[in-house]
Amino acid sequence: SYFKISQLSDEEKAKGVIACSAGNHAQGVALAATKNGIKSLICLPDGAPISKVEATKRYGADVCLVKGVYDDAYNKAIE
């Protein structure tokens, strides 16, 4: 995720990034976005481990907890 985010154009970076994850990918995207000065929103299912949710926030992402499972969080991210 870091490489992909680091390759975004200035126009893309200005829009920010959104991702969906059950936890580990969320942290990687959050860290990569923050290191590149990009705003990030991560959609996680509300059953994700609190440690992963809190770590994602500490890496600088805005977190959207979505009621349900991974597929529900994915659909929210697509929305």
On whether the CB atoms of residues 66 and 7 are closer than 8 A, the answer is no
What pLDDT is recorded for position 29?
96
What pLDDT is recorded for position 44?
96
**pTM (2 decimals)?**
0.90
Output DSSP code: residue 47.
T
Number of domains within the chain:
1
The model's pLDDT over 1-23, given as tens digits with 9 standing for 90+, comes to 999 999 999 999 999 999 998 87
The DSSP secondary structure of 5-46, one letter per residue, reads HHT--HHHHHH-EEEE-SSHHHHHHHHHHHHTT--EEEEEET
What CATH number is attached to the domain comprising 55?
3.40.50.1100
The model's pLDDT over 19-76, given as tens digits with 9 standing for 90+, comes to 998 879 999 999 999 999 999 999 999 999 999 999 999 999 999 999 999 999 999 9
On whether the CB atoms of residues 31 and 52 are closer than 8 A, the answer is no
